[in-house]
Structure 1
Amino acid sequence: VNLESRGRGRLSGVVAAGALALFVVAGSGLIERLPLAALVGVMFMVVIATFEWASLRILRRMPRADVLVMLLVTLVTAISQNLALAVLLGVVVSALVFAWENAQRIRARHYVDAAGVKHYELYGPLFFGSVRAFADKFDVAQDPAEVVIDFRDSRVADMSALDALSKLTERYHRAGKTLHLRHLSPDCRILLGKAGALIEVNILEDPSYRVAGAEVAY
């Protein structure tokens, strides 16, 4: 509303905040005398002035998840008249959508080098939402005796990802094959240390991120 009234300087914001505080503290008695219909009209004008009407024109171009969250927050606010609850629900839905989209982004490119070693190059985050897709990308029975998983373009995000790596290592071990994990962080190397000689970590090229819940070595 302040911007719509051409108040663009710092002083305009201070004056608007001071006037609002003065009305609430000193003018509450006068505000109570205003007709309820007048207050409703003021609120309608505020809504009309602050609503982004241009968003309706680009509604079809927006991601469906964003449209769903916007409609959900609007409906919950209108039905429950609780804006805090609606915003909280919108945040939860947005987080779930983000996790689902990132779970679909994990990819793996594989090739066999001249020495007969098969390399898997991972792309995308490895976390609780993508562990199943991660496990399906490996053919333990058909892979050669030595396999390398490269995490240069990927990262281990949580304990579910570490558990998936541990289970995959055990699968290759039971098949009599050696699995090497490269470009893992030192924190991941500590948690996966129980795998012993089956794990090879390139410490010089490891990223410096930390994994939540992992044991930190100083």
Structure 2
Amino acid sequence: MFKDNRFQHYDAASFRKDLIAGITVGIVAIPLGMAFAIASGVKPEYGIYTTIIAGFLVALLGGSRYQIAGPTGAFIPILLAIVLQYGYEELLIAGFLAGIFLVIMSFVGVSNLIHFVPKSVTIGFTTGIAVIIFTGQFGNFFGLTGLEQNEFFHEDMIGIVKQFHTVNVYSILIALIGLAVIFILPKIAPRVPVLLVALLIPTLVSIAIFPGKVETIGTTFGGIPNSLPPFRFPEITLSKVVTLWTPALVIAALGAIESLLSAVVADSMRAEGTENHSSKRELFGQGIANIVTPLFGGIPATGAIARTATNIRSGAVSPISGVIQSLFVLAFLLLFAPYASYIPLAAMAPILMFVAWNMSARKAFSHILSLRTGDTIVLLTTFLLTIFVNLTVAVQVGILIAVISFIRKMINKLHIKVEKLSDVEVVKYGHGDAASIKKYSLDGPLFFGTAKSFEDDYPVILSDDIKSIIIDMAHVSVIDATGEAVLSDLIDDAKDSGIRIIIKRLPKDKMILFKKSGLYEKIGKDNFFM
């Protein structure tokens, strides 16, 4: 079905590079998998399951030789909202449906449509998600107790303020140690996996110096089993499909955007001589991964930009590195999962804050904000709706405002100019009488946004003292059904006034529209001059 050239010329040296890269990414993926799962409102092991299964399937079936898939920060607000509103079992069904949507997208060419999502929308919701993730860790950072996870951002913030009197000094100390590791370690040992060390050192400090003083994965979730869960097909009913298809579609759309963005980043970092990713195959692989992962208790997954970049920087040459990453995380699960019970939740907080800070697109946000154009309005609207309502509404409204802004810009792009007649035109169409003929040129789009202004020019165009009108359409960029309709009305009014309409230099693609709509016959074959 898909041609695969990713394993050409693969040898032992290539495998050694993939082995090192896979282990390196696996070390990074373990703390992230658990942290993203906890932030999404589910148990940490579900993030591990997702890392193993989705990472393995996307590596083998996806369209990029470097893509690393798993749970990501972008999904956190969506998944948390589904868990709070419907529960974990329904989250599995939503993920399963999202996988089906992604497979369908891979065959209907949706991968091309992703590129038409305005940057102001993607930056707006990405920064909004970053704010949600960052502030969502205040509870664990300060060790607050009695907090409830809420669907809306403002409710969470009110809860944090109300419960701030329960602050735990030991939790703050653990979190600050983790932050210090994250900021200092890369400067003195850039090759050491900073996120794993930022998890290990606070955990050891907690165990050795003040055991039992902070909440841990074990005390909150009961520990992590050292095995994969059994295969279990979720109980899918028609009513559940009707309820969950909308959030599933949001998961699929966001997963498609993030996985393709990650693949594009990988293309820009790839070695010379290697091919670009296949968008269709990438969506297909992501779809299969999201269909299979919920059957083993995993949450929705997509391509992870940071882990994919780490994979490439670590020397990966093929999808085998992604397979090794999954096997490494599986080995961790089987051998060391029980020890993860000792990890303090306060140690997870700075990791997620660090991820949120990196994904916040601060420079791009500030740049678009400084433009003070329609894009700025789109950016702020998407950003605020992502935080205070939800991502689904934010993207829909953001794209709608972007479309309206674009149409407003295009309304003034249609120009109708009076052109000077050539001597040949005066003789040929005006029978030597220059006063009986006028020539106009249309420049720009003739569509529903400019149709009204074109109609307003009818009285000027259709003067009583002329017998022929030449319309030069060489520079008409777009004609839609509304544009075709107002042009048809002009032809009718011209015929009623005894005026001949002559169309010159109509582009071939517009001629096809004229013939399909019947406008070609109405104007008459003899009145077209190419």
Do the two structures share a fold, i.e. TM-score over 0.5? yes
Letter in 2 for 1:189: K
> Which structure would you say has the larger Rg?
2
Query: 69, 73, 78: which one pairs with 2:382?
Result: 73
- Other-structure match for 1:8: 313
Instruction: State the distance in 1 between where 2:438 and 2:311 align.
Output: 65
Whose helix fraction is larger, Structure 1's or Structure 2's? 2
Percent sequence identity is 19
> Is contact 2:515-2:521 (8 Å) kept?
no
Alpha-carbon distance, 1:78 to partner: 0.5
Equivalent position SS for 1:144: coil
- Size of the aligned set, in residue pairs, is 201
Counterparts of residues 129-208 of structure 1 (less than 5 Å): 129-138=449-458, 139=460, 140-141=462-463, 144-182=466-504, 183=506, 184-191=510-517, 192-197=519-524, 200-202=527-529, 205=530
- CA offset at residue 112 of structure 1? 4.3
Q: Hey, what's the Cα distance between the residues in 2 that align with 1:88 and 1:20?
A: 39
State the match for 2:417 in structure 1: 109
Q: Counterparts in 2 of 1:36-47, with a 5 A limit?
A: 36-47=345-356
**Where do 5+ consecutive residues of structure 1 fail to align?**
206-218
33 and 186 in structure 1: CA distance in 2 versus 1, 3 angstrom threshold: same
Q: CA deviation at 1:73?
A: 1.1
CA distance in 1, matches of 2:383, 2:318: 28
The alignment status of 1:55 with 2:364, answered yes or no, reads yes
| Partner amino acid, structure 2, of 1:11 | A
Q: Which residue of 2 aligns with 1:89?
A: 397
Q: CA deviation at 1:45?
A: 1.3
- How far off is 1:148 after superposition? 1.1
Q: Does 175-184 or 122-131 show the bigger shift?
A: 175-184
CA RMSD of aligned residues (A): 3.6
- Give me the TM-score of the superposition, normalised by structure 1: 0.73
Task: Indicate if the aligned counterparts of 2:470 and 2:502 stay in contact, CA closer than 8 A.
Answer: yes
- Secondary structure of the 2:440 match is strand
Tell me which stretches of 4 or more aligned residues in structure 1 moved more than 6 Å: 3-6, 27-33
CA offset digits 1:129-170 (Å, max 9, x no partner): 110112223411356211011110004432111111100111
Aligned residue for 2:383, secondary structure, equals: helix
Quick one: structure 1 residues 159 and 143, their matched pair in 2 at CA, closer, same or farther if it must change by over 3 Å?
Answer: farther
1:70 deviates by: 1.2
Unaligned segments of structure 2, at least 5 residues: 1-305, 427-433
Scaled by the length of structure 2, what TM-score is found? 0.33
Pair 19,169 (structure 1): closer, same or farther in 2 beyond 3 Å:
same
